Amino acid sequence: MHTAVTEAVVIPGYRIEKAVGVGGMASVYLAVQESLDREVALKVMSPTLAENAEFAERFLKEGRLTAKLSHPNLVTVYDIGLHGQVYYLAQEYIPGGTLREKMNAGMTVPEILDVARDVAQGLAYAHEKSVVHRDVKPGNVLFRANGTAVLADFGIAKAMDSKTMSTQAGNSIGTPHYMSPEQARAEKVDGRSDLYSLGAMMFEMLAGKPPYDATDPFSIALMHVTHPVPQLPPKVSWLQPLIDQLMAKLPESRFATGDEFVAACDRLFASAPEAQALRDAHMTRKRLAPRPMAMQPTEMMVSDTQKTPRGVSSAASVARPQVGKPGLFSRPPVIAAAVAVPLLVAVGVWLVMQPDPPTAPEPIVPTVVEDPVAINQDSDQPISGIVDLGSQGGVVDESAPLLIEGDVGTLLSKAREYVEIGLTTGSGRRLSSPPGDNAIDIYRAVLKQDPGNVDAVNGLERIADFYERRALGLRDRGLPTGCQAVAVVGLAAAPDRASLRALHEGGCNIKP
């Protein structure tokens, strides 16, 4: 048993409050960074690691690299260094527990997919910066207070990935249950190895057991190389295509990026009969039980979620999102839809748009765009933003009912609040989600009551400006699909804006 003694840990500038985790390689403490009076998670590496000169050098090098990563789904590293013979790393303190704890308590399918998307988006950003995690596992996934999943411990696995370290008794790079085939063969890895590990982790969340298991780690690693991709239980078998591509034996057969995985989630939810049944059930409940605007989206959902014996909810109950953050059916908004088309609210990224949508209504294919372009022009750090599309190409369907109630004054007050949240923070939150309770929908409701209302018109123009800037930023980064997707959302706020229409109809492919 490992025992952490807080009195023995002395790192200048940090006041140790308590031990929060102890392992073979490191101990983690809740500490206060005294210069800023902020709580941090202080990870103190085992003294035995400090004896290895190659580890010491790589730990500092990789730590400095990962400290430059800034993304909502990655833990922020504040400081890294050496004091005496102790290597330490101070990072953002995230009190929501680990994914392993949530898995032990049981998770619904929407919760599982939310976690997988969050991790995939964090990986997409890190891989874009040429940083590979190498040890994606439930213990390295933490949760913010609002339920957002974040990935921790970038760089530490790579620091340990050296000939000297890997030959030490009891030390292996990566965790065998989630290790990619190329990692098991000690070959060079890239971001697709992390996606394989995400697939193995997602399989365990859905099936209640690891994809491969044996009595020793070497046998498990060999199974990743030689055994076929495992099959999900019947109740969640409709998600098997995601597992198949995440866990393909050859890296070139996997999703190339985390963004591609999230886009595949969108397409699957747009076509799978199981997902259609869930969407229909959700919409039926929504129509039968209109709610006050102040009520959060999670309050609309039924509370009779049933979990299978292994902790995964049955297909009849997966429409319930996790409490505390927008879930599978409430995270993104649907901007426009025909009256007869079911409302699909699911997250995804980089869905390929058709330039000429058919005249007949088609099922809505929503898209979430992971926006790597900073809205704050004074910073080169990316800001993640979530937007959503419908199949109507950004044209507002005036016949679509808006389940929004209230007088003009009340609605305008609520819309202004949401605009300030989205524009002031630069996050875009509440501008277009959740459905029926976002600034665009509320301003539209005002204009139904009071056509030409100046405040509503100006508010929609501000929102359109926001999305146009993002679209142009994506275009400048050479990301035309994302540019087009964001332009469509801007058109939902300002359908007549020629500049947004030009971007949507081909301008995103024109480099400035």
349-366 in b/e form (b: 16+ CB < 10 A) is bbbebeeeeeeeeebbbb
Token pair of 31 as six digits? 């500490």
Q: For residue 167, what are the CA distances in angstroms to 56, 106, 161, 399, 425?
A: 16, 37, 10, 68, 48
Nearest to 366 by CA among 265, 459, 436, 297: 265
Q: Active-site residue numbers?
A: 135
Nearest to 444 by CA among 490, 493, 479, 483: 493
What gap in Å lies between CA 389 and CA 337, rounded to an integer?
Answer: 10
Neighbours of 68 (CB within 10 A): 10
Contact present, 141 and 148 (Cβ < 8 Å): no
Task: Give the list of residues 6+ apart from residue 481 with CB closer than 8 angstroms, or none.
Answer: 350, 351, 352, 353, 508
Cα angle at 373 between 368 and 377, to 5 degrees? 140
Contact present, 321 and 146 (Cβ < 8 Å): no
E strand or H helix that includes residue 26 = strand 26-33
Q: For residue 225, what are the CA distances in angstroms to 127, 178, 287, 449?
A: 23, 12, 50, 63
- On the question of a cis peptide bond just before residue 361, with omega within 30 degrees of 0, the verdict is no
- Strand order from edge to edge, sheet including 77-83: 14-22, 26-33, 38-45, 86-92, 77-83
Contact present, 512 and 362 (Cβ < 8 Å): no
Q: List, in sequence order, every residue forming a beta bridge with 107; answer none if it has no partner.
A: 312
**Secondary structure percentages of the chain, helix, strand, coil, to 5:** 45, 10, 45
What gap in Å lies between CA 40 and CA 383, rounded to an integer?
Answer: 22
- Alpha-helical runs (H) found in 272-326: 273-288
Contact present, 219 and 175 (Cβ < 8 Å): no
Q: What is the largest CA-CA distance in the chain?
A: 74
